[in-house]
Structure 1
Amino acid sequence: MGPSEEEKERDVILISDDEDDSTHGNSVLIVDPLVKTALEEKKCEEIVDEECELVVTFCKQANVMPHARYDCTSHSFERMECETCSPLGKNADFCSQCYCYICDKLASECQNWTTSSLCHCNAHNKSKFWKERRDFALAGVLVMFNLELTDIDADLRHGGNLLISFIQELSVEYNKYLIGVRIAPTEQECFCVSKLPPGQCGVCRSRSTEIVYKYSGVYALVTRFLNQAERESPKAAAVMLLGAAREITLHKDPAISWQNLGHTASLKLAVPCLLQSLNVVPWDHVLLTTVLKGQNTTGQRTQKGRKTFLWEVLPVIEARVEKLVENKNYKEVVRYLRAVKCSDTKGLRDLRDKIPFYLCKTGDFTDATHSLLFPINSLACCTACRLTPLQFEVYLKIFRTGSVPAGKDIQDPGPWVTVGSPMKDGVLIKQAFKLLYSNLSLYRNPKCWGSFIMIMGSSCFLERNGRLRPLTVKEPPVTFQQGVLVASDGLFQELKAKLNVSFPPGIFSQLHQEACLILAVQAVQQMVICELPYLTSFLEIFLAFGNNFWALRLLLNHLSYDKHILHGVVDLILRDLNRQKATMLKLWQNLGPQYVGEFVCLFLTCRNRILQSIGVLALDIITENLHVCPWAKHLYNFFHNARLMQLPLGATTHHEVSKFMDVLEKL
């Protein structure tokens, strides 16, 4: 029997729009049931929740719908990024409608709900780790082929399931192979050319303590799997063949010396034989070896009047690259990626985009910049076209310091190691601008210009934590500034036109750090003139100058020549300050009152009144947040020593400064 009408009207379910983390993931809000007598007395009476601004005009029994475990309202749930050892809190508890986030089954049917090292009960949708586990559970081993979930049909999934079973079986057989077998001297097989009966060869008997590694079991398993693949549909077979090729290319021979066991029992003979059946070039193939050694740069050769190419499928290319990088054979991986061809052009292009980083790992920064700026073939675009702002900054940091991240990826947060000599300032500046001019999104990105200014204003020696060490350089003579500006006039336009230009001799012979900042000022000015309508911010460019306020003042003077440009820049900065008050207060807290005083005074003392508005807004931000600015009281002495009140600031600015000084005096 179903529930009675009275029982159906006991609970109320309200759907909330609040997606805050404090609510359930499915945004269901359960309201306590009304007492039965109240409903009987007045079922149509309106219930008003003033806090939520909701009006309840009808009530009925709540039905618990299927939901993920982390959304359960009956049992509390604790979240962590990747806890798999044991259930957290009461995460192992579940109601009858709780589903496993990973398996997409009822929690009661999940076989790994509380299994150690898996613990699906802790899975939730706020964790990158668990999301990847869920994707793998849905796509299976097919994730290695970078397929969209919508593209995975029944044939692909069937091939993936067969491949998973094969990989599991292969792992067992491969582990047996790695353990090896120790054979008694009387049973020792002869590995020599003479092939004497077991136990009669003196040479082989002397090596009886060696462990024999027979690949026969692996070879037989792989052969059966390849034969099975031929009987499957084309899609399933492709998945099976590519997956098998990827697995066996990563196998290693643990034997210290050569063991001539035959083409099925010896890995060095068996793997090339299997790869040949898969149309995959073995590691010792003459074409591949000549490419890796640098003897063949094109990946093609002519034999008996017939051209052959180094052409491989993407999973095999990825496996080779992975193995070469793991062994730190960076020169070989560069040669291979430049020569190999593949039908998956996008996948190969993504791998080739890492060539500049691999070259940096070898200390060859010149070839690295060339690889960034010039494509491998005329039909492709250069890697610089696809650089992100973070990658741009890291490459400049590498060129500036001669150091690289120790990890396998350019964005690895780990330690940095020195691999070569830093680039000369003139070369670095030219390469930086070539990168910016090759990528319009980078050129219009204030973060990239801030990175460039910051790096050019830093020491070429990294700190122990891998961070750059900002430099404070004295303001050079005005004649020197004008000389650098005149000597470099027109150079940036020539660089933009991709001409091979060089800086005038002597420009970096003295005060080279100062010359770098002056050139940065000139480049920023030219960028703003052309790209102002596309800029989304500007404050980070100003902040990148650090304590080199003379360079920032030089930029302000250059921008003041055009009122339209100046108004646009000031509007951007005022908007940035208003939007990032908390960030600025934290930055000022770290930099101290000396920096804040010089930063504010720089704008307040500008002859152009519109620039003074930036300094006035900075004073307002400090005044409004004095409770988190314990350093603000030191500004009073700074402004007093700078005789700020005696300067001709203008009536409005003078009034604001006077008001601020009065506030500070009372602290």
Structure 2
Amino acid sequence: VMKTVQRHIVMGDFTPQFIHKLQDFYQKKVFLACEMKYLKNSPCVRLWNDVLLVSVLKGQNVLGYRMDKGKKDVLFEPISVVQLRSELLQHQHRYRELCRYLRVVQSNDSTLFQQLRDLVPFFFCLLGNFSSAIMNLFPPANAPASRFSPQLFLVFLRIFQTATAPKLMVTHMEQLCSSSATWEPIEAAEPMKCVDLVKFALRAQRFSSSVLSDSQCWTSLLQIVNSPALPAPSPQFLHDAQDVVKSLLCEKVSNMPIPRTFLEVYPDQALLLLVTGALGAQILDASLSPALPVLSTFKGNLWALQWLFESLAQSKEHFESIRQQITLEAANTTESSLAAGWIQSSQQQSLPEAT
């Protein structure tokens, strides 16, 4: 009953005058048993014109409290009310105000509240503000990206790549992965540049081990940097790239700065080699299965695949392991794919270096 009353109050179904009378009656005339005392303040929901709430929604108050006649008024609301406000603001497409509210309000259910707060980057996406979305995915502490599943990573990668988003009413991140959702263009948003997509993906891998080890995540990222087919860079660039990529991947900073000099001559090839180097590091550190779909993305850039195998050949044990895995996957596939043949062909070129 109390949740129903809260819903009517938040959704604006009652007039302010009626709400005040209801709250006054409940506080003064209703007596609850000891075990139900926690319900005492249930109808005492802030109205939308509450001074503190309005200042937070307008961005005038980022602290979540104000001093009122010497007393500290804190924006603390039960999770049921926070969820209702989130629902209404989403319905009204007031995403900027929703982000301000969720970042400031305090609540009583840490688990459900965290699930709502994790959605702040998505709401920034709906505003077309991808830079703020990235900042809120990777804050210094308690990053939402650390709770990425592979499916959720792919959702954000698609949002950033296409400037479209699923049309959904959400209360937690995994709902974004709904296969039945309709994707629509985001007003005033432009797709991210390839370099920024790569930075996002590599940062996400650092925050989420499940993303790092997922074959489909690698495939989707490599499809971005492997398309279209690129001319091979100079042998000197390929040689120098080994050290540059290794140095970048060893950087401990989370924002993955890419030197401008590395992107000057062969910008597209440099990004492909950076992602390829990250893939090689993952293969050397742990298994990647299935591997064939990932390596098949190189079908238009066999020179990059050759570069990958040359880096893997530095470890004979790992090189032999991935060679056997590719051979096994190619033998078990129902399709005698041309990609598998290309991969095995390039693999044979690198094989002598492993011995």
| TM-score of Structure 1 vs Structure 2, range by shorter chain | 0.7 to 0.9
Deviations 1:176-223 (A, max 9, x none): xxxxxxxxxxxxxxxxxxxxxxxxxxxxxxxxxxxxxxxxxxxxxxxx
- The residue type equivalent to 2:191 in the other structure is P
How far 1:247 sits from its partner (Å)?
3.7
Matched, 1:385 2:146: yes
- Structure-2 residue corresponding to 1:570: 323
* DSSP 3-state at the match of 2:165: strand
- The residue type equivalent to 2:258 in the other structure is F
Separation (CA, whole Å) in 1 of partners of 2:145 and 2:20 = 37
Decide which of 62, 66, 71 is 1:306's aligned counterpart: 71
Unaligned runs of 5+ in 2: 27-42, 171-175
Separation (CA, whole Å) in 1 of partners of 2:325 and 2:199 = 28
Are the counterparts in 2 of residues 426 and 508 from structure 1 also a CA contact under 8 Å? no
Mapping for residues 532-543 of structure 1, pairs under 5 Å: 532=287, 535-543=288-296
How far 1:507 sits from its partner (Å)?
2.4
* DSSP 3-state at the match of 2:97: helix
Matched, 1:416 2:184: yes
Mapping for residues 230-269 of structure 1, pairs under 5 Å: 240-252=1-13, 267-269=15-17
Give the direction of change, closer, same or farther, for the CA distance of 1:374–1:453 in structure 2 (3 Å limit).
same
Are the counterparts in 1 of residues 238 and 307 from structure 2 also a CA contact under 8 Å? no
Are the counterparts in 2 of residues 492 and 523 from structure 1 also a CA contact under 8 Å? yes
- Structure-1 residue corresponding to 2:205: 436
How far 1:272 sits from its partner (Å)?
5.8
Deviations 1:136-155 (A, max 9, x none): xxxxxxxxxxxxxxxxxxxx
Matched, 1:348 2:107: no
Instruction: Tell me the percent identity.
Output: 26
How far 1:518 sits from its partner (Å)?
0.8
Give the direction of change, closer, same or farther, for the CA distance of 1:481–1:607 in structure 2 (3 Å limit).
closer
Question: How many residue pairs get matched?
Answer: 329
- Structure-2 residue corresponding to 1:601: 345
Are the counterparts in 2 of residues 275 and 281 from structure 1 also a CA contact under 8 Å? no
Deviations 1:390-415 (A, max 9, x none): 11122123223433334446335423
How far 1:492 sits from its partner (Å)?
1.4
How far 1:343 sits from its partner (Å)?
1.0
* DSSP 3-state at the match of 2:66: strand
Separation (CA, whole Å) in 2 of partners of 1:308 and 1:432 = 41
Mapping for residues 76-475 of structure 1, pairs under 5 Å: 240-252=1-13, 267-271=15-19, 274=22, 278-374=43-139, 381-408=142-169, 410-412=176-178, 413-418=181-186, 419-457=188-226, 470-475=227-232
CA RMSD of aligned residues (A): 2.8
Unaligned runs of 5+ in 1: 1-239, 253-265, 458-469, 612-667
Deviations 1:1-41 (A, max 9, x none): xxxxxxxxxxxxxxxxxxxxxxxxxxxxxxxxxxxxxxxxx
* DSSP 3-state at the match of 1:490: helix
Separation (CA, whole Å) in 2 of partners of 1:338 and 1:568 = 47
How far 1:359 sits from its partner (Å)?
0.6
Are the counterparts in 2 of residues 313 and 343 from structure 1 also a CA contact under 8 Å? yes
Give the direction of change, closer, same or farther, for the CA distance of 1:571–1:416 in structure 2 (3 Å limit).
farther
How far 1:339 sits from its partner (Å)?
1.1
Matched, 1:548 2:313: no
Give the direction of change, closer, same or farther, for the CA distance of 1:503–1:596 in structure 2 (3 Å limit).
closer
How far 1:599 sits from its partner (Å)?
4.3
Are the counterparts in 2 of residues 567 and 610 from structure 1 also a CA contact under 8 Å? no
- Structure-1 residue corresponding to 2:30: none
How far 1:425 sits from its partner (Å)?
3.7
How far 1:309 sits from its partner (Å)?
1.4
How far 1:546 sits from its partner (Å)?
4.5
- The residue type equivalent to 1:505 in the other structure is R
Matched, 1:476 2:233: yes
- Structure with the higher fraction of residues in helix conformation: 2
How far 1:342 sits from its partner (Å)?
1.1
- Structure-1 residue corresponding to 2:33: none
Deviations 1:210-256 (A, max 9, x none): xxxxxxxxxxxxxxxxxxxxxxxxxxxxxx2123212442245xxxx
Give the direction of change, closer, same or farther, for the CA distance of 1:609–1:485 in structure 2 (3 Å limit).
closer
Are the counterparts in 1 of residues 77 and 106 from structure 2 also a CA contact under 8 Å? yes
How far 1:333 sits from its partner (Å)?
1.0
Separation (CA, whole Å) in 2 of partners of 1:345 and 1:428 = 32
- Structure-1 residue corresponding to 2:311: 558
Separation (CA, whole Å) in 1 of partners of 2:168 and 2:299 = 30
Please give the TM-score of this superposition, normalised by the length of structure 1. 0.46
- The residue type equivalent to 1:434 in the other structure is R
Please give the TM-score of this superposition, normalised by the length of structure 2. 0.82
Separation (CA, whole Å) in 1 of partners of 2:353 and 2:239 = 25
Separation (CA, whole Å) in 2 of partners of 1:608 and 1:541 = 19
